[in-house]
Amino acid sequence: MKKIIIILLLSGLFLSCKKTYQVIMPDTSSWDLFKTPVALPLIQITRSAMEGVYDIPEGKDIFGELVAIKWSYVINNGDTTFHISGFFGKDIAYFICEGKQLNGSILMNGYWRKMVSTETGIMRLTIDPTDGASVLLTAAPLITSGSITINGKFGNGQEEPQIPITLKYKRPLNKSPAPFQIAAHRSGGRTSDLLPVSENSVAMILKTQEFGSTGVEIDIRFTRDGVPILFHDNTLNLRVIQKCGLVGPIENYTYEQLSTFVRLTHGEKIPTLREALNAVVYQTSLSFVWLDTKYTSSIKPVQALQKEFIQKAAAQGRGLDIVIGLPGKDQFNQFLALPDYTTTPALCELSIEDVEKINAKIWAPRFTEGTQNDKVAVVHAQGRRAFVWTVDVPEFITRFVNEGHFDGILSNFPSCVAFNYYVHE
């Protein structure tokens, strides 16, 4: 008996072993040329003209054959910050830089990352006047294939960039006639993917456009005192929060308690749904919010916030869809209990019949059922849209973009969806 107890204890202890993974974000502040005070921000016309699909004549062994380049912005305290992102076709890689103009050249400074691994490093890119900057900096730039060449260097980790990379403009980004949503899971990205900000935080909502997202899926739960907040897991746990002494279901705590004692992995507070929607409407250009229902109580408080922020977005002149996600029968029945459910924008993950029953705007099947083009056609014929979730395998993302007829893809890797969508011909 003694032996058995020792064996069980030893086995239990061994099976509890775990490894901590991390990605150390490179410090990008060491490029003196970029920091020079005479460097100026780029104007909107230049930024728009830079967007496109580029060949990678140098660096393709690391990043693949093509890169889709796109700008995004966030507003913080009235200041707008622009980022240029490049979505590569290999290893779910991307770069994110800020851009400036200096002495007729365009400089881009930032970092690259591969989502399939922990690889990252500094990325510094330049467009010389003779490589297209002089055209891009005019009032009406005329861009044709081969007219922009971006040269630069990248490094591994904190190393000074030494490895050359060249990007050559090929064609404009793909744009489908109907809007296509690149929706990012967990408010824009998962903590387990070792991103610099925490999942389901306001910081992630503000960051996710840099990863290529045009929309977000956010997970909603209620605190003990009825405040809708963003949190995915059933319980407070060290996967998503820092050590704080609180354990168990988040529903056991008041918002005040959570706000005081709990911090997400990267130090952010757990946001309320109001704070999250406020960030979406007033600080980003995101055009789609999927309110995933992680609770089985009344949907009314969430519906009220949905209405309020749809109106606020409209008042801002923003085309913003906010839909209530219904993943199961419990939530579906709660939704049916709403007096005006047929006019409340919803996304239903159940059958097409259920979608029709509640007049949901969107049907969203799991990706494991395949492209289902016949069913998507039925949904389209009814004037609804169809999204597929949660597609993370790059080969599947390529297939859904190239052969599927969905209007949006939910993924933990929005940069991969962005690459496939923007380079699609």
Partner 1 sequence: MVTIGIAITTTAQDTTFKSKHAAIFFPYPMYKEKWRSSIGFTLLTTPEDITEETRIRLPCGDYRLLRKINKHFILDNRLLFQVLQNHISTGIRYIKPITDNLYFSAGDDIGFWFGYLKLSGFNSKATGWLNYSHISLGYKTKKNLLITFKAQVSASLSYQAITGDNKVTIGKNAYNGETFTLAFEQPFYNKKHLTLAFSTINNYFYWQTWALFYKTKRKIFYPQVTVGFIL
Backbone angles phi, psi at 203, to 5 degrees: -60, -40
Position 300 contacts partner 1 (CB under 8 A): no
Alpha-carbon torsion (106, 69, 416, 286), positive or negative: positive
Q: Which residues contact 341 (CB under 8 A, 6 or more apart)?
A: 335, 358, 359
- Give the number of residues written for the chain: 425
| CA Rg value for the chain | 23
DSSP code at position 159 = S
96-219-226 Cα angle (round to 5): 135
- Choices 39-47, 55-63, 215-223, 360-368 (CB under 8 A): range interacting with partner 1: 360-368
Position 372 contacts partner 1 (CB under 8 A): yes
Residue 423 CB, nearest approach to partner 1 (Å): 19
Residue 399 CB, nearest approach to partner 1 (Å): 5
316-321-322 Cα angle (round to 5): 105
Sketch the per residue contact string, 89 through 128, with partner 1: x for CB under 8 A, - otherwise: --x----------------------x-xxx----------
CB of 29 or CB of 117, closer to partner 1: 117
- Choices 54-62, 126-134, 295-303, 370-378 (CB under 8 A): range interacting with partner 1: 370-378
Taking the CA atoms of residue 329, residue 334, residue 339 and residue 344 in that order, the dihedral angle to the nearest 10 degrees is -70
Position 425 contacts partner 1 (CB under 8 A): no
267-112-138 Cα angle (round to 5): 110
Backbone angles phi, psi at 64, to 5 degrees: 100, -175
Position 235 contacts partner 1 (CB under 8 A): yes
Position 370 contacts partner 1 (CB under 8 A): yes
d(CA 223, CA 252): 7
CB of 19 or CB of 37, closer to partner 1: 19
d(CA 312, CA 63): 41
**Read out DSSP for 285-302?**
---EEEEEE---S-SHHH
Among 392, 407, 409, 415, binds partner 1 (CB under 8 A): 392
Among 40, 43, 244, 393, binds partner 1 (CB under 8 A): 393
Position 156 contacts partner 1 (CB under 8 A): no
**How far is it between the farthest Cα atoms of the chain?**
84
CB of 153 or CB of 399, closer to partner 1: 399
Interactions with partner 1, residue window 45-74 (CB under 8 A): none
Backbone angles phi, psi at 287, to 5 degrees: -120, 5
CB of 331 or CB of 372, closer to partner 1: 372
Sketch the per residue contact string, 240 through 279, with partner 1: x for CB under 8 A, - otherwise: ----------------------------------------
Interactions with partner 1, residue window 179-208 (CB under 8 A): 192
Interactions with partner 1, residue window 4-23 (CB under 8 A): 7, 10-11, 14-19, 21
Q: Alpha helices of 75-216 — where are they, by DSSP H? A: 133-136, 202-207
Taking alpha carbons only, the member of 219, 220, 221, 208 closest to residue 181 is: 208
Residue 192 CB, nearest approach to partner 1 (Å): 5
Residue 328 CB, nearest approach to partner 1 (Å): 10
Position 329 contacts partner 1 (CB under 8 A): no
Position 2 contacts partner 1 (CB under 8 A): no
Q: SS3 of 366, please?
A: strand
Among 24, 159, 162, 239, binds partner 1 (CB under 8 A): 239
Among 233, 251, 308, 356, binds partner 1 (CB under 8 A): 233
3-state DSSP percent of the chain in helix, strand and coil, to 5: 35, 30, 40
d(CA 120, CA 97): 13
CB of 301 or CB of 370, closer to partner 1: 370
Among 234, 242, 316, 342, binds partner 1 (CB under 8 A): 234
Residue 166 CB, nearest approach to partner 1 (Å): 24
Q: What does the binding site for partner 1 look like in residue numbers (CB under 8 A)?
A: 3, 7, 10-11, 14-19, 21, 91, 114, 116-118, 192, 232-235, 237, 239, 365-372, 392-393, 395-396, 399-400
